[in-house]
Amino acid sequence: MLRRLGREQVTPWLFCGDFNEILYSFEKERGLPRDEAWWTMETSCEEEVKRWEIRITKLRKGLSRKLLARIKELDRIERTDKNLAGLIDTKIHLNLEIEKEERYWEQQERMNWLKQGDKNTKIFHNLASQ
């Protein structure tokens, strides 16, 4: 990925972060042993990940719908301590699902930015160079 990002750059660039991920188990010196992530080298890996991503998205949407339906149901019935506790618990779960969704889209945007770069930065550098 770094090579691909580097090829797309026309100006000098710097990439920093934690690059301690290993590809092979013999690269690891201390700590708990790790299995090789051989499945990432399979040609079908990316396709399979996308298929699961679609399934998870459908599951998440279904769960959110179910939680919203439960909240409506609890709003309609008599307000007892048990029902109020259920309503609060369901709203907490819904908020967690919404937060997961937001983080998912933040990660998607970050991946897009890493793949495509910041187009405005390229324009800015070209203008500044002129």
Residue 104: per-residue pLDDT: 85
Whether 2 maps to a domain, the answer reads no
Residue 124: per-residue pLDDT: 62
In this prediction, the residues of the chain whose per-residue pLDDT falls under 50 are none
Whether 130 maps to a domain, the answer reads no
Whether 109 maps to a domain, the answer reads yes
Residue 91: per-residue pLDDT: 93
Whether 121 maps to a domain, the answer reads no
Residue ranges making up the domain that contains 99:
22-116
Count of structural domains, the chain? 1
Give the C-alpha distances (Å, rounded to integers) separating 32 from 18, 25, 38: 19, 11, 18
Give the C-alpha distances (Å, rounded to integers) separating 92 from 21, 64, 78, 120, 122: 35, 12, 20, 39, 43
Whether 128 maps to a domain, the answer reads no
Whether 11 maps to a domain, the answer reads no
Residue 71: per-residue pLDDT: 94
Whether 125 maps to a domain, the answer reads no
